[in-house]
Amino acid sequence: MIYTVTFNPSIDYIVNVDNFMTGVVNRTSKEIIFPGGKGINVSMVLKNLGEESTALGFMAGFTGDAITRLLQEKGVTADFIHVTEGLSRINVKLRAQTETEINGQGPKIASEDIRKLYGKLDALQDGDTLVLAGSIPDTMPESMYMDIMEHLQNKKLNIVVDATRDLLMNVLAYHPFLIKPNNHELGEIFHTVINDKDDVVTYAKRMQEKGARNVLVSMAGDGAVLVTEDGQEFRAEAPKGKLVNSVGAGDSMVAGFIYGYLNGGSYADAFRYGVCTGSASAFSEELATKKEVIALMDANQKLF
């Protein structure tokens, strides 16, 4: 089974504003609402690819109810813990001359709620995949994902972590199966600017030295790099296409990687599916469908 955990789900409010200006009233030319948050996006894309998963995490308030309902409509199995203080986030994605994101803080999660999550995680069995993805409300310790990995360390799980800074760095000692920073996040960790794929490989290997098993680094329109625990190295340019909505492209890549790994059985398959699923989401308004992913893979065989 695949489980995703989203500590901080969101409603993604994506607005287009032509000629956006600060300090005045702007009007939208288009607006869309999607359920979001990294683990939730992974679950939704897995569903599109035909792979079942259970989305775990925390919901609060009317926004939490709306996210739960939207997921139900999409047929995603979810088992969220409802918390009482605060609201699930509304994350604003402003598409104007440039793209700007404003991501909220999220509700208060009490220690009793964390105990409930551990209760659900105790049902995981050897061979399961667990995705810990996204930020956590800022009232929570940066050791949160590490604590979960420590709690589960006696089970043989493939744990995927998509997080930034200390939340990510703290888990490395517990040998996550996969981490997926983007090139900017990877550079930030080492206080450097990453310029090209050679740099990406260098710093991805440093993440392996710190404990990560496989490191997938996404580079938006510049493609991706994967270094694996068995010493393989994969590089790919991104498929070419018209960028429509990049929100969720990284999460789609994680879903594609898991799907490719579980169904193809090799890191080469995982990488190919990861890149094409990320790009298929970037090229469409909504998250990638299986048809879009397959079409992109067929058209881009030379990239891999």
Ligand X SMILES: O=P(O)(O)OC[C@H]1O[C@](O)(COP(=O)(O)O)[C@@H](O)[C@@H]1O
| Contacting positions for ligand X (CB under 6 A) | 8, 10, 12, 36-38, 41, 91, 103, 134-135, 247-251
- Specify the residue, 6 or 68, whose C-beta has the smaller distance to ligand ADP: 6
Residue 34 CB, shortest distance to ligand X, in Å, is: 7
* Sequence letter at residue 289: T
Dist CA 162 CA 177 (whole Å): 11
CA 27 to mean position of chain CA atoms? 30
> What is the contact surface with ligand ADP in residues (CB under 6 A)?
182, 218-221, 223-224, 238-239, 243, 246, 249-250, 253, 275, 278-279, 282
Dist CA 146 CA 166 (whole Å): 10
Dist CA 41 CA 251 (whole Å): 6
What's the CA dihedral at 150, 154, 158, 160 to 10 degrees?
Answer: 0
Q: HSE-up of 176 (CA within 13 Å, CB side)?
A: 29
Residue 249 CB, shortest distance to ligand X, in Å, is: 5
- Specify the residue, 113 or 269, whose C-beta has the smaller distance to ligand ADP: 269
Q: Quick one: what does residue 135 bind among ligand X, ligand ADP, none, with the CB cut-off 5 to 8 Å set by partner type?
A: ligand X
Bridge partner list, 59: 82
Q: Quick one: what does residue 278 bind among ligand X, ligand ADP, none, with the CB cut-off 5 to 8 Å set by partner type?
A: ligand ADP
Q: Quick one: what does residue 264 bind among ligand ADP, ligand X, none, with the CB cut-off 5 to 8 Å set by partner type?
A: none
- Specify the residue, 117 or 178, whose C-beta has the smaller distance to ligand ADP: 178
CB-based closest residue to ligand ADP: 250
Residue 162 CB, shortest distance to ligand ADP, in Å, is: 7
Residue 47 CB, shortest distance to ligand X, in Å, is: 15
Q: Taking the CB of residue 166, how many other CB atoms lie within 10 A of it?
A: 14
Residue keyed to tokens 């960790």:
189
Residue 181 CB, shortest distance to ligand ADP, in Å, is: 8
Residue 109 CB, shortest distance to ligand X, in Å, is: 14
Dist CA 69 CA 72 (whole Å): 5
Dist CA 33 CA 208 (whole Å): 37
Q: Quick one: what does residue 168 bind among ligand X, ligand ADP, none, with the CB cut-off 5 to 8 Å set by partner type?
A: none
What's the CA dihedral at 216, 219, 223, 224 to 10 degrees?
Answer: -10
Q: Quick one: what does residue 279 bind among ligand ADP, ligand X, none, with the CB cut-off 5 to 8 Å set by partner type?
A: ligand ADP
Q: Quick one: what does residue 243 bind among ligand X, ligand ADP, none, with the CB cut-off 5 to 8 Å set by partner type?
A: ligand ADP
CB-based closest residue to ligand X: 36
The enclosing H or E element of 25 equals: none
Residue of 12, 162, 251, 269 with catalytic role: 251
- Sequential DSSP letters for 223-262: -EEEE-TTS-EEEEPPPP------TTHHHHHHHHHHHHHH
- Sequential DSSP letters for 49-77: HT---EEEEEE-HHHHHHHHHHHHHTT-E
Q: Is 138 a catalytic residue?
A: no
Closest CA to 38 of 147, 207, 179, 210: 179
Tell me the catalytic residues.
251
